[in-house]
């Protein structure tokens, strides 16, 4: 019998180049490890919930930032050396600018696809902090930061800070008028730090403003931030892999098991699909919506400032903290002028950020709860924590809104002093009101849940009993809904004296 080309004479099965390469790779140590990992991921379960999607969004943003950033590196010139511009954008022809801005304009107008990639880089940098903040909020309000996931909370917070540093350092690299105004504000803040302010300014700028700030920020943006960000992300993924994922209470879910879909292929396909959707949307927005049009701002100048300049949204709370300090807050002591207009905002913002990163440890110390928690909380079932979270959001929103106090005043024809005074009151009184109201709302929702557990859902059906009494028939809860409202999974016993098990028929007496 004649042998068919491409088939084995023994088994008759076709063997291709990829099949042979896969078999050879499988015999290596790395191949065996990959096969073992794949088999483990096929059996590893993860719960499905919308709050888990923010991590994929963050990962897509990081991927877009890294890929587009590598492309931009080949064309960007990190130099403050002044040159004359003679590029494709004719309104600036002959203008004097730095090599940094000249190269950025060349990327935007002369490099094929350069503007698209530059805007994708910027939009991804704007979306990344939002995705991480939403991930922090969902982690906070569901109690996913408790043991054994406190390290994951700290890593997520550090990822946010690294993203802010990366965004701020990249904001200044085009060296246009808007970024130059922001750098001038930074110089004023640094100089306002008592004792060491002048030394820090000279170290950062390399001399008098603007000095060599572009040359100093460029390695931070392209080396330090990416390395730290990728390291933190890898460590967080590693920590998450070693720990079982947290899940909401439901039927069959306990503190010891995980109910969900396997990582391979189900969860991986879902995450990959969302990854591609986010990436596609970023490029779609980049192709249709202009961001950071530096050609309209013009080149940076040490003696000029851009009117109505605003920082990127993720640093607005820092600018707002500076604007809320009353004028004249300074005094002379030990031969130095202590400018409270800088020291106080830095101290307040520093304390706020410290409270965020240390909250899991503070809550554990206050409550004395050192147990491991694999079931998540419903926010209404932890009214104090939820109130603290909303109060923190209100404080942040007050600082963030104050960063645009001048624009609010001009757009709504108000006095800027009145707008600033409103935000000064809001950041002090607002968190207190938010805490009290949120806590009361949570307690009210708890009472509503208890009513539903005891009597079921209202159906609107009124029936008359043989004795003449009118009752409303209630729909009993199924087991999944009952455990979701209890929020404790299957392992918690029913409290003594409370029969929360729904009867087959439920009814409430109504007034006849």
**Structure tokens that stand for 267 in this block:** 């969860």
Q: Is the pLDDT of residue 281 over 90?
A: yes
Mean pLDDT of 153-165: 95
Do 170 and 291 touch, CB atoms closer than 8 A?
A: no
Given this model, what pLDDT does residue 102 score? 94
Q: In this predicted structure, which of 200-209, 267-276, 437-446, 495-504 has the lowest mean pLDDT?
A: 495-504
pLDDT digits (tens, 9 = 90+) for 431-455: 999 999 999 999 999 998 888 888 7
pTM equals 0.86
pLDDT tens-digit map of 323-346:
898 887 878 877 777 778 888 898
Residue 133 CB neighbour total at 10 angstroms? 17
Rounded to the nearest integer, the mean pLDDT of the chain is 85
In DSSP terms, 330 is beta-bridged to 339
In 2-78, beta strands by DSSP E: 45-46
Neighbours of 152 (CB within 10 A): 20
Cα–Cα nearest to 148, from 351, 430, 372: 372
DSSP H or E segment with residue 29: helix 29-43
Helix axes 383-402, 316-323, angle to 10 degrees: 70
Residue 87 to residue 104: CA distance in whole angstroms: 11
Of the listed ranges 174-183, 215-224, 254-263, 493-502, the one predicted with least confidence: 493-502
Q: How far apart are CA 158 and CA 358, in angstroms?
A: 12
Would you state the structure tokens that stand for residue 182, as one six-digit string? 């922001």
Residue 141 confidence (pLDDT): 95
107-124: average pLDDT = 94
Supply the DSSP symbol for 56: H
């Amino acid at each position: 019998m004649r042998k068919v080309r491409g088939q084995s004479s023994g088994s008759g099965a076709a063997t291709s180049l990829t099949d042979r390469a896969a078999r050879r790779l499988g015999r290596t140590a790395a191949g065996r490890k990959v096969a073992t990992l794949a088999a483990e991921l096929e059996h590893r379960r993860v719960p499905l919930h919308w709050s888990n999607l923010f991590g994929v969004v963050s990962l897509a943003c990081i991927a877009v930032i890294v890929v587009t950033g590598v492309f931009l590196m080949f064309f960007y010139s990190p130099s403050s050396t002044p040159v004359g511009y003679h590029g494709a954008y004719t309104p600036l022809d002959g203008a004097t600018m730095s090599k940094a801005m000249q190269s950025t304009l060349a990327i935007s107008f002369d490099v094929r696809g350069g503007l698209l990639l530059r805007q994708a880089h910027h939009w991804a940098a704007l979306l990344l902090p939002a995705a991480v903040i939403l991930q922090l909020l969902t982690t906070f309000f569901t109690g996913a930061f408790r043991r054994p996931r406190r390290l994951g909370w700290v890593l997520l917070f550090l990822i946010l800070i690294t993203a802010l540093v990366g965004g701020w350092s990249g904001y200044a690299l085009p060296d246009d008028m808007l970024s130059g105004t922001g750098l001038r504000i930074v110089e004023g803040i640094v100089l306002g730090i008592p004792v060491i302010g002048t030394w820090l300014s000279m170290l950062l700028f390399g001399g008098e403003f603007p000095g060599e700030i572009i040359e100093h920020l460029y390695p931070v943006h392209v080396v330090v931030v990416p390395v730290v960000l990728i390291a933190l992300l890898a460590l967080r993924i590693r920590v998450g892999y070693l720990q079982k994922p947290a899940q909401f209470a439901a039927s069959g879910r306990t503190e010891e098991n995980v109910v969900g879909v396997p990582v391979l292929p189900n969860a991986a396909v879902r995450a990959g699909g969302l990854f591609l959707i986010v990436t596609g949307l970023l490029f779609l927005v980049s192709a249709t919506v202009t961001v950071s049009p530096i050609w309209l701002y013009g080149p940076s100048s040490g003696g000029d400032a851009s009117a109505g300049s605003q920082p990127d949204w993720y640093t607005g709370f820092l600018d707002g903290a500076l604007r809320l300090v009353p004028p004249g807050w300074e005094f002379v002591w030990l031969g130095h002028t202590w400018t409270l207009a800088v020291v106080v905002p830095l101290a307040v913002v520093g304390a706020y950020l410290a409270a965020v990163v240390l909250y899991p440890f503070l809550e554990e110390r206050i409550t004395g709860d050192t147990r491991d928690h694999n079931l998540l909380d419903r926010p209404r079932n932890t009214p104090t924590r939820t109130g603290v979270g909303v109060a923190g959001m209100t404080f942040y929103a007050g600082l963030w809104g104050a960063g645009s106090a001048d624009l609010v005043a001009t757009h709504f024809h108000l006095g800027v002093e009145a707008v600033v005074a409103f935000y000064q009151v809001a950041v002090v009184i607002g968190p207190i009101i938010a805490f009290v109201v949120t806590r009361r709302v949570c307690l009210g929702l708890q009472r509503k849940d208890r009513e539903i557990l005891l009597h079921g859902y209202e159906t609107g059906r009124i029936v008359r009993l043989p004795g003449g009494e009118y009752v409303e028939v209630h729909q009993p809860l199924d087991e999944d809904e009952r455990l979701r409202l209890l929020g404790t999974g299957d392992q918690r016993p029913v409290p003594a004296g409370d029969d929360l098990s729904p009867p087959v028929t439920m009814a409430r007496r109504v007034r006849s």
